[in-house]
Structure 1
Amino acid sequence: MKNWSTHKAIKNFVLHLHPLKIDARATAYNRTFGLGGIAALLTTILFVTGLLLKFEYIPSAGKAYDSILSLKNDIIFGSLLRNIHYWSAMLLVVVTFLHLIRVFYSQSIFYERRKNWLYGLLLMFLVVSSNFTGYLLPWDQLSFWAVTIMTNLLEYIPFIGETLAKLIRDGDSVGEPTLLRFYHFHTGLLPLLMVFAVTMHFWLVRKAGGIALPKIEKPKKVNTHPHLTYREAYIALIVIAVILLFSIFVDAPLLDKAKPTVSPNPSRAPWYFMGFQELLMHVHPVFGSFVIPVAVTAFFIAIPFIKYPELNTGVWFHSLKGKKITIWSALFSALFTFAFILSNDMIFKFGDRLASWPKIISTGCLPTLLYIIPVGAFLWYLKKKKTANRIELVITITTIILSAYITMMLTGIFLRGEGMQLIFLHA
């Protein structure tokens, strides 16, 4: 009788996250790919493993690295625990990003879902911030110099940059106060904010009636349990198994203990920030660390609030034409961005050729305009020749931004060698 009561309580809790009955189309795996549920699962895994890691970790510049070594070498399953935590965190960044763009491309951010889009952007920021603060905690060469690079970039933000960088680092450079501050952010403030944002996110999804679907006259309804809950359980088990197996065979990276006076060559930002690092090699720091990121963020926030003559909620890419435009835009952006990187490295070199010009113009305004003008011509072509409507143009702009960042990120990760030179040009 007790087992039946426990089963009923669990069932009621699960069903509280969903309506009792849902549209049968919502159970199709290719509708959401389970990304939201996977992100929630990974967050839970990170909370549990993070709490266990706190028993061994010492947030001190003199002892942090040694506590990681002790965890790896002296604690039974300690290395596995750290691996699970690390790879779950890396996967969470990828899954959260994919979930965000899935919601956008399936046109699920309009009308009553606008507020949830903003919470989604907030969650993306919190996930990246949590990863970034946790990145420093091993206190090895990899983490120390990655955080040094990113916090130094903040100093280029006009008016508040230096103050903001000092506030985050708790000093003029990365040191023990930075480690302690990042530790408290990573294990205290950010998890609390994530719990709040995730709770609001799920509540707003439930309030909106579940995932967005194309409107039809008589949708077929099915019971949430077992049609949806069993599928969620299968996906959860698969994700847990994959993370466990990967963590058994692949260790989380750990280099030598941090040496503030010895910089590795090349010094790299965390992989998810490599796009920013690559961007800063081609434009003035004020543009790379402030103007462009702020403009992109403002655009993403504004997307669901723009007035559109027509919307197809729940329809991927808005239309078949929108799907084709998305593919063209992704290819155009990737090829054009890579060509821009090559030409800037090999030909233009604005800072050298226009050394007498103010840097804000020669390495800021000029390269930015040389990128924006062809993109504008591409948008004009789609509007005039392909009769793209407003939402399809917004999809195009979003795709160009995402594809450009991914291209810069991959270039920074795989094609930059010593001195951050392109490896095939300086072999």
Structure 2
Amino acid sequence: MFGTPLTPRTERERKRVVLNHLLLHNRPVRLPERTIAFRHTFGLGGMSATLVGLLILTGVLLMFVYEPSPDRAYGSIEALRRNVRFGGLVRNVHYWSANLLVFIMFLHLLRTFFTGAFHGTRQFNWVIGVLLLLVVLAANFTGYLLPWDQLSFWAITIVTGMLGYVPWIGDGLIRLARGGAEIGSATLINFYTFHTTVIPVTIVGLMAFHFWRVRKAGGVVIPYSPDEDPAEKPETVLFVPSLLVREFVTGLVLVAIVMVLAVTFDAGLDAAANPGMSPNPAKAPWYFLGLQELLLHFHPTWAVVILPGLALLGLIAIPYLRYDEPMEGAWFVSETGRSLATAGALAAVALTPVWVLVDEYVADWSGWLPGLPPGLSEGLVPAVVAAGITWAVIRLAGRQYGGNRQETLQAAFAFLATALVILTAVGVWFRGEGMALGWPWTP
């Protein structure tokens, strides 16, 4: 009845399990023993796939109750929490899986970058990974509106309003995103449709393509120490059971963590959406708060279009830059690279809060440069100053530690990634009424 034994015991039977099983066919029969070490990849790719599975499962269950109408959406969520057995738990699992997916995919991107897993045949797979992260952000964004409460309504109002800062086509983009001039029934239907059909299919398709590209590249990068010869042929082990068991256990632990979070911390539901009463402060979803924080320090066109656009182009270009000696598998390339990346991250920890404070209480770019248009005085000039500070930090670190192009790029990447994390933290915890700076414990 079965093509392969349910419990394979011999090496041949274990190979046949991988070759004949649809879900395992994107895994190699044998793989280098070093690549299965948890500390090499931390299982972040498998964790992301597990969370996508949880999201699809809980999302389908939520669709049986949710009604995508401004008149009934909020009530259907309340009914789900109060009247449906385990309804609140299912929603909480969906909520925490979605938030953890953004966080874990960001860590996966960092792991891939700092182990150099983007050279050679892996170049385009890096681009696919970046696209996956963007689509996951779109999934979270479209799902954020669906409860139709005050928090979600005004968060989506803010984020879609940012599109208005795109030159020439901003108003058209707002109408396209909202399905009209204001957020209403058309917006909810559009977001619900994309959230439940187009985006999940895109995620699954890109994820399958991503895993297939990993398989075609020979699996994940083989970890090497900086002083080791990568040409040496590594020892290999069978996928079943060496890696399969580890992935299964990692998935179980992750599901357990999600369940603990879902039982302990409720997803919450604010008051029903009221278009005539904006909360104070009105904030974007947490994963866009770094972008909203930029709006407080740069001209809107620079904060919403130019700086994020340059960052995205830079991310996509990383695999295609010219490197002195492309090195993959070794964390940070070398001890020099580790020192440079650490210096970049620590510099961002020190300088980003200083920039926020100075810009909040001291800087007056338009007042200092009254003859320039706002796009230059509040956009180009502070952007050049920020870029100059970044360049100076990397230059000083390079003089202190040396380093080749890849190691220097790691320092810049660490600086910018850490700065983004800090800006997000400022937006989450240190912005109060009127988006003024304040302590989290201050009312």
Per the alignment, residue 298 of structure 1 pairs with: 313
Match of 1:48 among 50, 57, 63: 57
Q: Secondary structure at the match of 1:57?
A: coil
TM-score by length of 1: 0.96
Q: Secondary structure at the match of 1:98?
A: helix
Match of 2:109 among 84, 100, 107: 100
Per the alignment, residue 260 of structure 1 pairs with: 275
Aligned-residue offset at 1:240: 1.0
Per the alignment, residue 324 of structure 2 pairs with: 309
Q: Could you tell which deviates more after superposition, 392-401 or 31-40?
A: 392-401
Q: Secondary structure at the match of 1:222?
A: strand
Per the alignment, residue 78 of structure 2 pairs with: 69
Are the counterparts in 1 of residues 340 and 398 from structure 2 also a CA contact under 8 Å?
Answer: no
**What is the CA–CA distance in structure 1 between the aligned matches of 2:209 and 2:422, rounded to whole Å?**
33
Task: Give a deviation string over 1:351-390, Cα, whole Å, max 9, x none.
Answer: 4555664211221112112211121122222344432211
Are the counterparts in 1 of residues 43 and 250 from structure 2 also a CA contact under 8 Å?
Answer: yes
Per the alignment, residue 35 of structure 2 pairs with: 26
Q: 1:329 to 1:199 in 2, by over 3 A?
A: same
Aligned-residue offset at 1:244: 1.2
**Percent of counterpart pairs with the same letter?**
39
Are the counterparts in 1 of residues 30 and 237 from structure 2 also a CA contact under 8 Å?
Answer: yes
Per the alignment, residue 275 of structure 1 pairs with: 290
**What is the CA–CA distance in structure 2 between the aligned matches of 1:266 and 1:33, rounded to whole Å?**
37
Q: Secondary structure at the match of 2:237?
A: strand
Are the counterparts in 2 of residues 382 and 388 from structure 1 also a CA contact under 8 Å?
Answer: no
**What is the CA–CA distance in structure 2 between the aligned matches of 1:402 and 1:248, rounded to whole Å?**
32
Task: Give a deviation string over 1:276-322, Cα, whole Å, max 9, x none.
Answer: 01110000000000110111111111111011111211111111110
What amino acid sits opposite 2:44 in the alignment? L
Match of 2:137 among 128, 136, 141: 128
Are the counterparts in 2 of residues 36 and 99 from structure 1 also a CA contact under 8 Å?
Answer: yes
**What is the CA–CA distance in structure 2 between the aligned matches of 1:15 and 1:284, rounded to whole Å?**
50
Per the alignment, residue 151 of structure 2 pairs with: 142
Are the counterparts in 1 of residues 342 and 411 from structure 2 also a CA contact under 8 Å?
Answer: no
Aligned-residue offset at 1:196: 1.1
**What is the CA–CA distance in structure 1 between the aligned matches of 2:401 and 2:42, rounded to whole Å?**
31
**What is the CA–CA distance in structure 2 between the aligned matches of 1:222 and 1:357, rounded to whole Å?**
65
What amino acid sits opposite 2:429 in the alignment? F
Aligned-residue offset at 1:10: 6.8
What is the correspondence of 1:316-335 to structure 2 with a 5 Å cutoff?
A: 316-335=331-350
Q: Which runs of 5+ in 2 are unaligned?
A: 9-15, 225-229
Are the counterparts in 2 of residues 158 and 286 from structure 1 also a CA contact under 8 Å?
Answer: yes
Per the alignment, residue 192 of structure 1 pairs with: 201
**What is the CA–CA distance in structure 2 between the aligned matches of 1:351 and 1:61, rounded to whole Å?**
42
**What is the CA–CA distance in structure 2 between the aligned matches of 1:15 and 1:2, rounded to whole Å?**
16
**What is the CA–CA distance in structure 2 between the aligned matches of 1:3 and 1:378, rounded to whole Å?**
60
Are the counterparts in 1 of residues 155 and 283 from structure 2 also a CA contact under 8 Å?
Answer: yes
**What is the CA–CA distance in structure 2 between the aligned matches of 1:307 and 1:357, rounded to whole Å?**
37
Per the alignment, residue 358 of structure 1 pairs with: 373
Would you say 1:391 and 2:406 are equivalent positions?
yes
Are the counterparts in 2 of residues 142 and 255 from structure 1 also a CA contact under 8 Å?
Answer: yes
Would you say 1:235 and 2:250 are equivalent positions?
yes
The size of the alignment, in residue pairs, is 427
What is the correspondence of 1:81-96 to structure 2 with a 5 Å cutoff?
A: 81-96=90-105
Per the alignment, residue 225 of structure 1 pairs with: 240
**What is the CA–CA distance in structure 2 between the aligned matches of 1:352 and 1:259, rounded to whole Å?**
37
Per the alignment, residue 164 of structure 1 pairs with: 173
Q: 1:117 to 1:284 in 2, by over 3 A?
A: same
Task: Give a deviation string over 1:158-207, Cα, whole Å, max 9, x none.
Answer: 12222112111111121111111000010011011111101110000000
Are the counterparts in 2 of residues 134 and 183 from structure 1 also a CA contact under 8 Å?
Answer: yes
Q: 1:5 to 1:388 in 2, by over 3 A?
A: closer
Match of 1:284 among 280, 293, 299: 299
What amino acid sits opposite 2:408 in the alignment? L
Per the alignment, residue 12 of structure 2 pairs with: none
Are the counterparts in 2 of residues 329 and 400 from structure 1 also a CA contact under 8 Å?
Answer: yes
Q: Which runs of 5+ in 1 are unaligned?
A: none
Q: Secondary structure at the match of 1:90?
A: helix
**What is the CA–CA distance in structure 2 between the aligned matches of 1:97 and 1:408, rounded to whole Å?**
15
Per the alignment, residue 346 of structure 1 pairs with: 361
Q: Could you tell which deviates more after superposition, 351-360 or 63-72?
A: 351-360
TM-score by length of 2: 0.93
Task: Give a deviation string over 1:54-103, Cα, whole Å, max 9, x none.
Answer: 00000000100000000000100000010001110000000111111111
What amino acid sits opposite 2:352 in the alignment? T
Aligned-residue offset at 1:39: 0.2
Would you say 1:245 and 2:254 are equivalent positions?
no
Are the counterparts in 2 of residues 154 and 161 from structure 1 also a CA contact under 8 Å?
Answer: yes
Aligned-residue offset at 1:17: 2.5
Per the alignment, residue 111 of structure 1 pairs with: 120
RMSD: 1.9
Q: Secondary structure at the match of 1:123?
A: helix
Q: Secondary structure at the match of 1:332?
A: helix
Task: Give a deviation string over 1:247-271, Cα, whole Å, max 9, x none.
Answer: 1121102100000110000000000
**What is the CA–CA distance in structure 1 between the aligned matches of 2:174 and 2:38, rounded to whole Å?**
43
Task: Give a deviation string over 1:316-357, Cα, whole Å, max 9, x none.
Answer: 111111001111100101221110000011111334555664
What amino acid sits opposite 1:25 in the alignment? R
Q: 1:293 to 1:401 in 2, by over 3 A?
A: same
Q: Secondary structure at the match of 2:256?
A: helix
Are the counterparts in 1 of residues 30 and 238 from structure 2 also a CA contact under 8 Å?
Answer: yes
